[in-house]
C-alpha cells in the first residue's frame, strides 16, 4: 500500500526547488518519491544530499527515489574473500581514479547477460558527466596488463557519503577489486559509508547491509562536508590484497 495516491510533480524549470519530505515516499514501489524536474547539477546535488536519487528507464519520465531500508556498506567492514585477495595479488591489474570517467559509465550502461536494457540513458550519461566535470562524481577503474579497462564503478560524493551508482566487470572479480579500492581510500579519508541504494547478492557478498532510511539520513546530516583528505589521487603503493579491514563503529 502506498502512503499517497498522488505523486509530487517537480518543475523542470526550477532546479533549486525543494524535494518533498522523504517520509512521504511510497511503500510500493519502495521509495518512489517524485516525478519530473530535470537532471541539472544543482538538482542532482540537492537530491543526493537529501538521500534521494533518480532512476528511470528509456522513454519514461524522471522518477526520484528514497527507499526504506537503505543498503549501505561501511568502508572498514568490507568483506574480502581469499579468492578475491588472490585475484588482486596475481592478475597484474592497475587501478586508477577518474582516468576515464565516461568510459566507465558507458561500460556500466552496456547490456548484461541477464538483460538487454539499461537505466543509464543518454540523458543520464550526460547528467553524470556534468557532475563529474563539476567535481561531484568519480570513477574507480581497473585495467589489465594490456591497459584495457576491464572493471570499475562510479558514484556521487554527498558530504562524507559516497553514493555508488553502478559497477561493471568484463573479467572475473574486477568490479569487486574496484569496490575494495574505493573502500580502502574512503576509510583512510574519513568517509562515513558507501550508499548502495538497494541490496543485491553481489553487494551483500562484499559486506553491504541494510539500515533504515532514518539512519541513512542521520549519516548524511552528521557528515555534511567532504573530508579534506579526499584528493581522488590513487595510492599506488598500497597492497590491497593484504588489507585487513577493522570495523570502527
Domains defined along the chain, listed by start: 8-67 (3.30.70.3550), 71-242 (3.40.630.70)
Residues 6+ apart with CB under 8 A from 28: 1, 2
Q: What is the pLDDT of residues 10-50, one digit of tens each?
A: 999 999 999 999 999 999 999 999 999 999 999 999 999 99
Residues 6+ apart with CB under 8 A from 246: 76
* Distance from C-alpha of 142 to C-alpha of 62, rounded to nearest angstrom: 31
Q: Which three cell numbers stand for residue 161?
A: 557519503
Q: Are 190 and 227 in contact (CB under 8 A)?
A: yes
Q: Are 172 and 87 in contact (CB under 8 A)?
A: yes
Q: Looking at residue 117, what is its pLDDT?
A: 54
**Element at 202 (helix H, strand E):** helix 201-205
Low-confidence ranges of the chain (pLDDT < 50): 1-4, 114, 116
Q: What is the pLDDT of residues 89-118, one digit of tens each?
A: 999 999 999 999 999 999 999 976 545 457
Q: Which three cell numbers stand for residue 249?
A: 563503529
Amino acid at each position: 500500500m502506498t502512503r499517497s495516491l498522488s505523486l509530487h510533480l517537480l518543475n523542470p524549470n526550477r532546479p533549486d526547488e525543494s524535494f518533498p519530505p522523504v517520509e512521504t515516499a511510497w511503500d510500493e514501489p519502495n521509495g518512489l518519491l517524485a516525478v519530473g524536474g530535470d537532471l541539472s547539477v544543482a538538482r542532482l546535488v540537492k537530491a543526493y544530499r537529501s538521500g534521494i536519487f533518480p532512476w528511470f528507464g528509456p522513454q519514461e519520465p524522471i522518477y526520484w527515489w528514497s527507499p526504506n531500508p537503505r543498503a549501505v556498506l561501511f568502508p572498514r567492514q568490507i568483506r574480502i574473500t581469499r579468492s578475491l585477495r588472490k585475484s588482486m595479488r596475481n592478475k597484474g591489474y592497475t587501478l586508477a581514479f577518474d582516468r576515464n570517467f565516461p568510459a566507465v559509465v558507458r561500460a556500466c550502461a552496456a547490456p548484461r547477460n541477464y538483460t538487454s536494457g539499461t537505466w543509464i540513458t543518454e540523458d543520464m550519461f550526460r547528467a553524470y558527466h556534468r557532475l563529474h566535470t563539476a567535481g561531484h562524481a568519480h570513477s574507480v577503474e581497473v585495467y589489465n596488463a594490456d591497459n584495457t579497462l576491464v572493471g570499475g564503478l562510479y558514484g556521487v560524493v554527498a558530504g562524507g557519503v559516497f553514493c555508488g551508482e553502478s559497477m561493471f566487470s568484463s573479467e572475473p572479480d574486477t568490479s569487486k577489486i574496484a569496490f575494495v579500492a574505493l573502500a580502502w581510500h574512503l576509510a583512510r579519508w574519513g568517509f562515513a559509508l558507501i550508499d548502495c541504494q538497494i541490496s543485491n547478492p553481489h553487494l551483500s557478498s562484499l559486506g553491504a547491509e541494510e539500515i533504515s532510511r532514518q539512519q541513512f539520513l542521520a549519516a548524511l546530516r552528521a557528515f555534511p562536508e567532504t573530508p579534506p583528505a579526499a584528493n581522488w589521487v590513487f595510492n599506488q603503493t598500497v597492497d590491497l590484497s593484504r588489507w585487513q579491514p577493522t570495523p570502527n563503529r
